[in-house]
Structure 1
Amino acid sequence: MPHLSEAYSRHSLRETVHDLRNLFGVVASAKHMLEDRPAEETHAVLLDAIEDAARRGGQLTTVLLAHSGDVAGMETIDISNHLLVLAPMIRALAGRHVDVKFELSSRPTPARLSPGLFEAVILELVANARSALHKPGRIIIRTRRMGAQVVVIIADNGVGCEPGEPSDSILSSVSTGANGTGLGRVRRFAKLSHGVFRLRSRPGRGSCALIRLPAVLKMAVDRCCCLPAAQPASKEEYQHEKRQPITARRHG
């Protein structure tokens, strides 16, 4: 039986390769969108997405060569601002037939996490949402500041899942098949960041992935103080979230 550290290293290596595949998807999708001869502004955004994917791919290759799954250390970042930086890659990965909307909080959304792992998780959730969509489709990315917590939501209007399927995927630490959902790693990322992960899905009505993280207080002496770990939503918060639409209606 392999040693636990060896098994973990193989698992981390598999996840890093999975991240590289998502980055290759960004490049391929952006290339197809460039073939449509988009407007100059969109053309520039797509080129930025390809350049960013190449840079991040180089970083992941360094990780592979070092045989390490540790993409980056823990840092304090503003979630909404970081998602704006990722926006070109997210739009390119979603593809030409998907409408990606960002509904970002106007309030600060600071959280302490591994930026590299956060980026990988967001791209994973976007890739999963894209694969579940009928074309054309829609993906909505929201951030919220709810008291002492920061919430990230990625919703789609795709095919959705039958009851039981999302929880089975989340509990599995290894994706099933070459195109597995990777939701187990999202749960692990949330746990590593002292947060929680929840997935709501309805057949024919899409899915909504929610990551709830503890907010961070920026101290005057330039030290970061984390608020208590994110807790499951209260009954009132859960009912409010449940009343929210998974996404806006589909086009047409």
Structure 2
Amino acid sequence: MPRAPRMKKKLYEAELFRLQGELVKVQEWVRAEGARVVVVFEGRDAAGKGGVIKRFREYLNPRIARVVALPAPSDRQRTQWYFQRYVEHLPAAGEIVLFDRSWYNRAGVERVMEFCTREEYLRFYRECPIFERLLVDDGILLRKYWFSVSDQEQERRFRSRLEDPMRRWKLSPMDVESINRWEEYSRAKDDMMLHTDIPEAPWYVVESDDKRSARINMIAHFLSTIAYTEVEHEPIALPPRPPATGYERPPRDMQTHVPDHAAKLSAEDVL
């Protein structure tokens, strides 16, 4: 099947920059209002979640907007209530938390790869809507996005990673296994949607075969769901630099400087 036409680069870059400007406004509104925002990014391997997250927070203050990407649970965490290790990463007032995968691991990879029991994922389906309603009832703005990629496009991206030494680390044995279990992941996703697509916290599906369109569509939609307003800031004026008082910088040879690699490259380029 031929790939869908990509969004033109010039149009994409202009709109992305505009949307990122709006995200900065959202950040300032979140800080001023003491709002709490949680955005869940889910989808198959190579669906483009990481690329969207990177563009989403590119111009945001990392003290306000942070990414949570948890490793496999420890032995101790496996004995805790399933949602417990995610709760400690929820935002305080004035914070935005982006979950690069989330508690939905149980409904996807844990279920398909049999890292949990049938009883455990059925309990997840019962508890997850309750858990999310509690978050929303407490005032957290919860948004959930599922990035949908075709099997052909996923395989193309896997092969691209395999051939690129700079991105080969992104391809794991778990990714390879996801090809063999495509239909199992599909059934798991359908069950997840059936049990957890609730009015208080609905799922939003992002078609992601075209990464550029997916990034634009997701960010634009997110902005449309937040009733933010632009925060007025007090004007800042830089003061005049005070007069010198006799300070002298120590000699350069008293400090260890990194070699000027850039100057060497520039000299070689002239030659």
TM-score class, shorter-chain normalisation, is under 0.3
TM-score with structure 1 length normalisation? Answer: 0.27
Which has the larger share of strand? 1
- The structure with higher relative contact order (CA 8 Å, sep 6+) is 2
Higher alpha-carbon Rg: 2
TM-score with structure 2 length normalisation? Answer: 0.26
